[in-house]
Amino acid sequence: MESFALHSLSSRSATLLHRSPRPTITATAISKSQPSIPSRSSILSLRATSSLSSSSTPLFSPTKPIIFSPLRKNHFQIQVSSAVSKPQKPPPATVQGAKLIPLLISVAIGVVVRFFVPKPVEVTPQAWQLLAIFLSTVTGLVLNPLPVGAWAFVGLTTSIATRTLPFEAAFNAFTNEVMWLIVISFFFARGFVKTGLGDRIATFLVKCFGKSTLGLSYGLTFGEALIAPAMPSSTARAGGVFLPVIQSLALSAGSKPNDPSKKKIGAYLILTQFQSAGSSSALFFTAAAQNLLGIKLAEKLGVIIPNTWITWFKVASLPAIISLIVTPLVLYVLYPPETKDTPDAPALAAKKLENMGSVTKNEWIMVGTMLLAVSLWVFGDAIGVPSVVAAMIGLCLLLLSGVLDWSDCLNEKSAWDTLVWFAIVVGMASQLTDLGIVAWMSNSVAKFLSSFSLGWPAAFGVLQAAYFLIHYLFASQTGHMGALYSAFLAMQVAAGVPAMMAALALSYSTNLFGALTHYSSGQAAVYYGAGYIDLPDVFKIGFVMAVINAVIWGFVGSFWWKFLGLY
C-alpha cells in the first residue's frame, strides 16, 4: 500500500514537471503540501476499527485523523529533476511457493522418524508412520514453509496418499462439533465489532475507571473479562475492541507509537492488557477457542467434565480473578507509565459515548442474542441443548435480523482457515490416540518419572511446566494444544494425577502462555504490532509474568482445587 502510494505520487510529479520544467523537488518539500501517508500499522489499526464498525470513533477526534502518522524517515526519498526523473527500483522479488529451508527441515523430521528411528515393538507400522507425518506437520506449523492452512492440507494429503489413513478417517474431524463452535465464535466476534457493542462497553468502563493510568488499566482489564464469555476470541477482543480504545487514549495523552513518548501511558496499557488477556480467557469456558478444543480432546481420552461451563468457571474463578487483580499492579511496578494520572480520560470517554448516541437496534439484538447463547451454554446440559447448537441458534438470529449478513461470514477468512488446519491437526491427534501412540508415550514417560520415585504432585508440576515452556516453539495456542494436549494429559493421568484436575490445568495453561512472546498467540501479534512495546520487553515481561502466574495458579489454585474436591 505504501509503495503503491509513493510510486503513484512520484509518477504524477514526474509527468507534470516534464511538461513544465521546475527546480528539483525533494520529499521534504512534497511532504509539506501532500497529506500524510498512513503507515502499515496505522492501516491495520484503521481496518480493525472503522472497516467493521461505522459507529466506532476514537476517544480523541481532532479535525485531522490522529490515527495517521507522517511520512517516516526510513522511507526512500522522492527526488525529481527538471529534465529526467530517476527510474524507480523494482520491488524485491517475492518468494513463490514454499520457503525452502523450513520445508526441508519439516520434511526431514518426518523422514528421520519414519526411516531412521527404530519403531518400538508396542507400536504398529501404521501408527509409527502417522506419527512421522504428524511430527512433520507440527514442525511445519512452527516453521511456516507455507501458510498454516496450506501446510496442514499437505500433511493431510500425505496421510491419505501414503495410505496411512483412509479418506473418511482423515476428514473425520471436519464433522466435529467443536470445530464448528470455533468457526461460529469468529462470527460472533465480528458481530461485536460490526455493531460497535464491544467498543461501547470498553468506553463505558474507561468513563468509570479512567481517572488514573492504573485505574484505566483495571477498567480495561475487567472490561475484557466481562465480555469474554460472549466474545470467544481473544484475538478479536484485542484487535476489534481494546486496541482501538487504548490507541485513542494513548494518543490523546500524547503517547505515540514508535516514539519515546510511547512510555507515557501507551506501553503500560498495551502490555497490561496483553498479559491480562490469558486470565480472562481462562476464566470462562466460552472465552477462547482453545478451551472448547481442550474439553473435546479430554473426552477422547475418557476424561469427562460434568456441567462444563459451571465446572470450568468454578475451578478457574479464584486463581483467575487474583491474577487479573495482580497483573496491572505488578506491571505498574515493573514497567511503570511515565504519566500516572489521566484526569481527562473519563471526559473523553463520556464525549465518545455521547457521539455514539443511544444504543442502536443492532446492538440490542447483539445483546439479546449473546444473553440467549450464554444462557444456553450455562444451562444447556440440563435442557439437552449442546453448545454448538446454542451457537448455531445465535448465528441464525443474527443472520435473520440482518445484524450479520452471509458476506460477513464468508469474509471471515480466519474462521475458515482455522477450520481447515485445526480440523486436520485435531484429526491426526485423534487418530494417534486411536492407534495407541499416545498410550505408548504416556506409559513410557510414566515409567521414566517413576524411576525417580516422584509422587503425582511432583509429576504434575514437572509436566505442566514442560507443557508451558514448550510454547516458545509454537506460534499458536490452538496449534500447541492440538499437537501436545492429548499426550501430556495421558502422561499425567498415567503418573497418577487426578484426571479432571490435569485436563483443566492444561487448558488453563494454554491460555496463560499466550503472552510469552510476540508470536505466541493472535492477540500477541495484535498488541506487539501496535508499536508501543519493544521486543526485549515482551520476552522479559512475558517470562516474569509466567513465573508469577505459575505461583498464583500453582499455589492458590492447588489449595482452591483441594477445597473443591478435585483431589
pLDDT for 181 equals 75
Please check the confidence at residue 127 and state whether its pLDDT lies above 60.
yes
> Which one-letter amino acid corresponds to residue 221?
T
User: How sure is the predictor about 352, in pLDDT bands with cuts at 50, 70 and 90?
Assistant: confident
Nearest alpha carbon to residue 537 among 324, 274, 277: 274
Distance CA 538, CA 524 (A): 9
Please check the confidence at residue 159 and state whether its pLDDT lies above 90.
yes
Same domain, 337 and 461: yes
**3-class state of residue 85 by DSSP:** coil
Higher per-residue pLDDT: 133 or 257: 133
pLDDT for 44 equals 37
Same domain, 325 and 468: yes
Residues 428, 172: contact at Cβ < 8 Å? no
pLDDT for 238 equals 83
Q: Give residue-wise pLDDT tens across range 198-241.
A: 778 778 877 888 788 998 899 889 989 988 887 777 877 887 67
Measured CA to CA in angstroms, residue 112 lies from 116, 151, 425, 507, 544 at distances of 5, 19, 20, 31, 37
Higher per-residue pLDDT: 378 or 507: 507
Give the lowest-confidence range in 339-343, 401-405, 497-501: 339-343
Same domain, 269 and 315: yes
Higher per-residue pLDDT: 20 or 167: 167
Higher per-residue pLDDT: 41 or 482: 482
- Express as a percent the part of the chain with pLDDT over 90: 37
User: How sure is the predictor about 433, in pLDDT bands with cuts at 50, 70 and 90?
Assistant: confident
Measured CA to CA in angstroms, residue 435 lies from 360, 440, 483 at distances of 53, 10, 15
Please check the confidence at residue 25 and state whether its pLDDT lies above 90.
no
- Cβ of 529: how many Cβ atoms within 10 Å? 16
Angle between helices 499-512 and 456-469 (to 10 degrees): 30
Report if residue 121 sits inside a domain: yes
Q: Which residues contact 491 (CB under 8 A, 6 or more apart)?
A: 441, 442, 445, 446, 463
Q: How far apart are the first and last CA of the chain?
A: 57
What's the mean pLDDT in 479-504? 89
pLDDT for 19 equals 43
Report if residue 379 sits inside a domain: no
Same domain, 168 and 242: no
Give the lowest-confidence range in 85-94, 165-174, 265-274: 85-94
What's the mean pLDDT in 12-25? 42
Same domain, 109 and 253: no
pLDDT for 88 equals 60
Report if residue 138 sits inside a domain: yes
Final residue of a structural domain among 141, 174, 207: 174
Same domain, 143 and 288: no
Total domain count, the chain? 2
The reported pTM is 0.63
What's the mean pLDDT in 233-254? 78
Mean pLDDT of the chain: 80
Same domain, 229 and 319: yes
Q: Is 44 exposed, middle or buried (0-12, 13-18, 19+ CB in 10 A)?
A: middle
Residues 346, 290: contact at Cβ < 8 Å? no
**Residue 80: what are its φ and ψ, rounded to 5°?**
-125, 130
Give the lowest-confidence range in 109-123, 179-193, 278-292, 496-510: 179-193
pLDDT for 95 equals 66
pLDDT for 551 equals 93
Nine-digit cell string for 94: 517475492
Same domain, 208 and 262: yes
Q: Which residues contact 26 (CB under 8 A, 6 or more apart)?
A: 77, 78, 79
Final residue of a structural domain among 110, 144, 174: 174
**3-class state of residue 427 by DSSP:** helix
Same domain, 211 and 278: yes
Measured CA to CA in angstroms, residue 244 lies from 201, 345, 530 at distances of 13, 14, 10
Selection from 44-58, 111-125, 336-350, 519-533 with the highest mean pLDDT: 111-125
Report if residue 250 sits inside a domain: yes
pLDDT for 86 equals 52
Same domain, 106 and 234: no
Measured CA to CA in angstroms, residue 169 lies from 64, 151, 324 at distances of 57, 19, 42
Helices (H), 284-412: 289-300, 308-334, 345-356, 361-383, 387-401, 406-411
What's the mean pLDDT in 440-463? 83
Report if residue 55 sits inside a domain: no
Same domain, 169 and 292: no
Report if residue 118 sits inside a domain: yes
Distance CA 126, CA 157 (A): 16
- Cβ of 306: how many Cβ atoms within 10 Å? 8
What's the mean pLDDT in 500-517? 94
Report if residue 503 sits inside a domain: yes
Ramachandran class of 406: left when φ > 0, alpha when ψ lies in -120 to 50, beta otherwise = alpha
Distance CA 325, CA 329 (A): 7
Same domain, 341 and 472: yes
Distance CA 48, CA 309 (A): 30
Domain that holds residue 306: 196-357+436-564
- Express as a percent the part of the chain with pLDDT over 70: 82
DSSP state of 67: T
Give the lowest-confidence range in 79-88, 126-135, 554-563: 79-88
Please check the confidence at residue 33 and state whether its pLDDT lies above 70.
no
Please check the confidence at residue 326 and state whether its pLDDT lies above 70.
yes
What's the mean pLDDT in 426-432? 82
Report if residue 414 sits inside a domain: no
Nearest alpha carbon to residue 531 among 77, 101, 45: 45
